[in-house]
A and B are shown apart, each in its own frame.
Chain A
Amino acid sequence: MRLCSTFLNAALGKNRKRPFFPAVLFSGLFFCTAPLSVNALEAALNFIPDNEGGKISVRVSGIDEDELRAHILMGSRSRIVYNIRLYREGRVMQILGDRLLFEGNPVQEARWDMYSASWEILHADGQRRFYTDWKTFFKKFMELDGFRVPHSIAGSTEALDGKLYVLARASFLKTVLKAPLSILQAFPGREEAKSPWSRLGLP
């Protein structure tokens, strides 16, 4: 119990009189092995075609809403990184594999704005938007809405024909650490969860 107490105190930074090096050791272990408070993260895809190609929407689920709310209210910034890839299936019996036509990695960040007492999202398009309603905020944060997939590859005249499909994945980072603490994100077992790749065939 005493060991556990030291462990938690070190990790949470509550006891300022704790021994320094045991605290460092236990905190390191804690950080590297802390289980994520997210269930199996999932990313659901939707594609709406238009004249310029189409827009991808990704809806993320599996994140504990109450815990995220409490976490953000404590002053932390959370982040979801979306990995979106557009492929064309291989034409000659798939010997050469599928061809990657386009890749985008939009990022959304969420935090609590103490000045306006509202929830803030830094959207993938660079816009900062504020929400006074948690439900709306959470819904907006959990989705990437209307990410444009081009109808041709930049710098190429090749049209996006053939059998196309999109692979997408979401990576949720509970706390965005500032440098130099960001070095902690290099260790496995950090507070990050990734969804498996979801596939959506394009019409």
Chain B
Amino acid sequence: MEQAGPSMKLQWKKNSGGSLAVLAGLVFSYILLVALVLLFSQQVLLDFSLGRTIVLSVIAALTILFSLLLLFVIGAQSFELFRGAPREKPGVRFKLRLVIFFLVVIVLSSVPQAFLCVSFINSSLLAVFNSRVGQSLAAGRSIALEYYTEKAQHLEELSGGAVFRRLLSGADREAASVWDQIRVLLPGANAFQVFRSSGARVYEAGDSRNFMDAETARLAQEGPFPREITASGADVLRTKKSFENRRGAFFAVLTVAMPADFAASAEDLAATFEAYRQFEQYRPAFLAAIMLLYGFFSFPLMLLAVLASFRLSDEIVRPIASLEEATRKVAEGDFSFRILFRSGDELSSLAGSFNSMVMELEKSRLKSMQTEKVAAWQEIAQRLAHEIKNPLTPIKLSAQRIQRRYSEGAEDFEAVLDSSVAAIIHEVDSLDALLTEFRSFSRLPAPKPEPVILKNLILESAAAYRGSEKILFRCDEVPAGIRLALDPGQMKQVFSNLVTNAIDAMPEGGEIIFRAALVKKGNSRYCRIEVEDTGEGIREEDVSQVFNPYYTTKSYGTGLGLSVVERIIFDHKGQVWFESHPGVGTTFFIDLPASPASGAGETTGDAGTLEA
């Protein structure tokens, strides 16, 4: 690949440092969000009512804060995007379409995921808490209840029966014997206590961990006690029975302990049944909550995806926009433009191909220019030879005439000599003028631009052509406010040459109209100047040769006027061309570069009419 020259312009502003920072930011944000989701999922099974919601509040606050931050960044990006859309910035519409496309894809993929997630949770819960499980739990609960009730009934029957009353009558003296008999009658009996009515202990037997406090027992009412979980964790049922005998008033407390595994299992069963009942009742609300939470955590992730889509669309659009701009530059004639590419993707290959193509175009153009230059010089040499040869013939004839007359000894030799020498001098003067003009054309100096008010320049150029009453100059369509950086001397020569040609084209008189306006095309601004005449126009066969040096249709012209015009305009980085209609007139168009400070082209200038 050929190396780019020093004046080569490189495009495709790939900022690898910035891209890495943005990528790192996106990855960090994603990890942060995932961490928040994981943290929340660990908190979700905690009991929020026990004051453990601080972490949850922090997670929620962070998520909301993060969402707001992302919304702000996306808002700024969107503002930038929509601000660029009306200006037709390269790639803006394509980027807008890409972002909308990504957004639609994100939404379309998220919604089914949400429904899938909720549906999966619902199905899973239904699989666990189905009606068979409910029936099983209810049945297990019934069995446990039946067992518990049976135990309670046995205790109640024994304590209320005549046998127990008879046994208690001697319990203050033969308590151990009574306790043995009770254990036979009630195998689950765990503790037996006998107190005097004052609360004084008489006898205690069985599991001491389940003994009842004397004072509590004394104050308690006769009959069964409410269920009790003792300090040792035993689930016990008790009953109090008072009795009297000759030795005084007593009361006994009989305790039955439920099997330890039964109590725990019964509690588990109750808890599971409670969970099942809650699931039946709150399932729809729970699923709604899941959907809300899904949305709550998905929203910032979606925003992150949108932000990533902005970045991705940037990556896609930038090379395309660069290509578009490069194509435009090349179309405008700037073959030094190159696209810088670094990555190894297809767009980089395209950029490489484009650069190669522009390089080949540049080579072809240079070659073509060289060929044209050679051809032009050949043409000039031919025409110059022709123009020099033309006066040589009369000079030669005049010299031959002098020689012939002298050898003949003609009487009018003196007169012939005078006339022939005069003719030779005239032709030599013409030849000298021709060569002087050619030298000044070939040595045309580089323009020295300075701020010039265009209208004044045109009026000064046209003022030199006063004298012909048949020619009317009109400058009222040249705004007075247009200021351009021009070489005033060279530009006066341009207008002078054009006006001369126009006057020559209107032997019967007519109008020469000047027009000017500032034009903005893309990012470039220029001033378009028109010089229109109402002359006979240019013949079609002459159109392609008008700007060629030494080409003229006039008997007295040198044929360099329009060549000088083209050269000066080219040196001012402008363009010149013309439109002509035979019998109607000719208009020359000149485009000259203008700066934003050149003035309002749309401003209507002072009406100005100059009569030559």
A interface residue numbers (CB < 8 A to B): 10-13, 23-31, 75-77, 79, 81, 83, 105, 107, 113-116, 118, 120, 127-132, 171, 173, 175-187, 192
Contacts and interface: CB of A to CB of B under 8 A. Distances in A.
B289 A184 contact: yes
Given A116-B152, A178-B275, A11 B285 contact: yes
B275 A115 contact: no
A31 B292 CA distance: 13
Given A115-B148, A178-B274, A178-B278, A185 B49 contact: yes
Contact of B274 (A25, A77, A185): A77
A25 B279 CA distance: 16
A128 B229 contact: yes
B305 interface: no
Nearest to B226: A130
A120 B228 CA distance: 10
Given A128-B229, A131-B226, A114 B51 contact: no
The 3 closest A-B pairs by CB, nearest first: A28-B288, A27-B284, A116-B227
A178 B125 CA distance: 13
A114 B226 contact: no
A186 B63 CA distance: 15
27 contacts: A10-B284, A24-B284, A24-B288, A28-B284, A28-B289, A28-B292, A29-B288, A30-B285, A77-B274, A83-B51, A114-B270, A115-B145, A115-B149, A128-B229, A130-B226, A176-B47, A180-B286, A181-B282, A182-B44, A183-B44, A183-B286, A183-B290, A183-B293, A184-B285, A184-B286, A184-B289, A186-B53
Contacts of B289: 28, 31, 183-184, 186-187
Given A27-B288, A171-B49, 5 more contacts: A12-B281, A23-B284, A31-B285, A76-B274, A183-B286
A180 B45 contact: yes
Contact of B48 (A24, A25, A83, A182): A182
A115 B285 contact: no
A130 B275 contact: no
B49 A192 contact: yes
Given A28-B292, A116-B152, A181-B279, A79 B284 contact: no
Task: Among B51, B275, B285, B288, find the residue whose CB has the most chain A CB atoms closer than 10 A.
Answer: B285
Contacts, number: 124
Q: Interface SS of chain B: helix, strand, loop or mixed?
A: helix
A76 B292 CA distance: 25
A27 B274 CA distance: 20
Contact of B148 (A13, A26, A116, A129): A116
Interface in B247-304: 266, 270-271, 273-275, 277-293
Interface string B139-180: 001001100110010000000000000000000000000000
B54 interface: no
A104 to B, nearest CB: 11
A129 B53 CA distance: 29
A187 B60 CA distance: 11
Contacts of B148: 115-116
Given A75-B274, A181-B278, A113 B283 contact: no
B interface residue count range (under 10 / 10 to 19 / 20 to 34 / 35 or more): 35 or more
Contacts of B287: 24, 27-28
Nearest to A30: B285
Contacts of A118: 226-227
Contacts of A113: 227
A178 B277 CA distance: 10
A128 B266 CA distance: 15
Interface of B: 44-51, 53, 56, 118, 141, 144-145, 148-149, 152, 226-229, 237, 266, 270-271, 273-275, 277-293
Contacts of A116: 148, 152, 226-227, 237
A81 B50 CA distance: 7
B259 to A, nearest CB: 13
Contact of B229 (A114, A127, A132, A175): A127
Contacts of B53: 186
A31 B227 contact: no
A178 B47 CA distance: 8
Contacts of B227: 113, 115-116, 118, 120, 130
B269 to A, nearest CB: 10
A184 B282 CA distance: 9
A71 to B, nearest CB: 12
A105 B285 contact: no
A192 to B, nearest CB: 7
Contacts of B141: 114
Given A115-B144, A178-B274, A184-B286, A130 B228 contact: yes
Contacts of A178: 271, 274-275, 278
B229 A81 contact: no
Contact of A177 (B118, B280, B282): B282
Contacts of A128: 229
Contacts of B280: 13
A7 to B, nearest CB: 11
Contacts of B49: 79, 81, 171, 173, 176, 185, 192
A139 B283 CA distance: 33
Nearest to B288: A28
B286 A11 contact: no
B44 A180 contact: yes
A116 B438 CA distance: 128
B284 A13 contact: yes
A25 B281 CA distance: 14
Contacts of B44: 179-180, 182-183, 186
